Amino acid sequence: MIVFDGIIFCLQQWGGISVYFNELMNRVNAHNISNEVILFGSSVPSQIDKRLVGINYRFVNTRYCERYRRCQVSEQTKLFHSSYYRLPMKDVPVVTTVYDFTYERALSGPRRWVHSSQKLNAVRNSNAVICISNSTRQDLLEYLPKIPPEVVHVIHLGANESFAPLSSNGGDLLRPFALFVGGRSGYKNFNLAVEAVSRIPGLDFVCVGGGDLRHQESRLLNQILPNRWRHERFVAVDRLNYLYNKAMCLIYPSSYEGFGMPVLEAMRAGCPVIAFRGSSIPEVVGDAALLLDMLDPLALTAMIQKALDTSERDRLRKLGYMRASEFSWKKTFESTLRVYEQLLGKPLLERNSKVET
């Protein structure tokens, strides 16, 4: 039995890791592979995908500092896959997924020390390690050069198939806008994006997610983009797809990413992408986006103006959609399944059976 440790659903309201594990759990369940999902508390959290019908949940009590402790698993456990850097109390094959090295690259102090200690300990004690990009794999081997390279597998993420071009031009956003999706902390370069958009008259700015705006963020927006900005704290997939479709471009100037799921979502929806040429981003977008070589507001403004040109937008939309088609959750699942099978020493799925998308 494959056991998924659902600790991530205690740690984030919604995010890329929750999406990733929902997709894995859904497909393992859909193919009748024996599995169990460990949850904490007494009810299924709202982050769990409603498609997960009939899955075997096991509810356990939350212990003090639960996220940092070894996971309690049943005797039937044959393989353990934690959603966030934990190890099991039972001696079974362990799979750990490494998402990025943001803490190590962008943070300092106790938060970094605690996170890094747990992450690196989990990696050292895993039988297989999944990295979500080659960039993350390179970082892993930098921080843990003694890890045998053969136990490290690169398996890219996918994007929800609900992200797709829309035929309707209607909706509630009537003026042209640039879109910013996700966190706004330092390395995400939110202020840079705001400043670049402010230099283009007639272009609004819409930011999505990342929690409530901080006082300094609201002040900046009101100072240099008065009456030209909007923040949507949390949106469902359909709403986000609409925003990708309506946006003139996605601005994603993050200086570090383990993968960069918003750029893949945007490309699937036919939204031109402008991002920084660093970490995993070139690996994901290929030649289907406009990439900044330096994090400069004038350079970003020039990129946005280029994306506003109709012919350039059409070119980027076409290239982006083609590039995004190379990534899918089906591929993610199939590659992950091969890792499970390698550790267990037996097939879990008949290869002539149809693997659902």
> Does residue 354 have a pLDDT over 90?
no
Share of the chain above pLDDT 70, in %: 97
Name the nearest CA neighbour of 349 among 78, 28, 130, 20: 28
CA distances from 52 to 25, 27, 57, 80, 125 (A): 8, 9, 10, 19, 30
More confident residue, 255 or 351: 255
Which class in CATH covers the domain with range 2-158+328-344?
Answer: alpha beta
Q: Where in the chain is the domain with CATH 3.40.50.2000?
A: 2-158+328-344, 177-324
pLDDT tens-digit series, residues 192-217: 999 999 999 999 999 999 999 999 99
> Does residue 155 have a pLDDT over 60?
yes
List the structure tokens of 129: 């390690």
Provide the pLDDT for residue 355: 55
- Position 14 confidence tier, pLDDT thresholds 50, 70, 90: confident
More confident residue, 45 or 181: 181
pLDDT tens-digit series, residues 80-108: 999 999 999 999 999 999 999 999 998 88
pLDDT tens-digit series, residues 304-341: 999 999 999 999 999 999 999 999 999 999 999 999 99
Cα dihedral 325/357/266/207 (nearest 10): -170
Alpha carbon distance 224, 141 (integer Å): 43
Domain covering 177-324: architecture: 3-Layer(aba) Sandwich (3.40)
List the structure tokens of 122: 């989990």
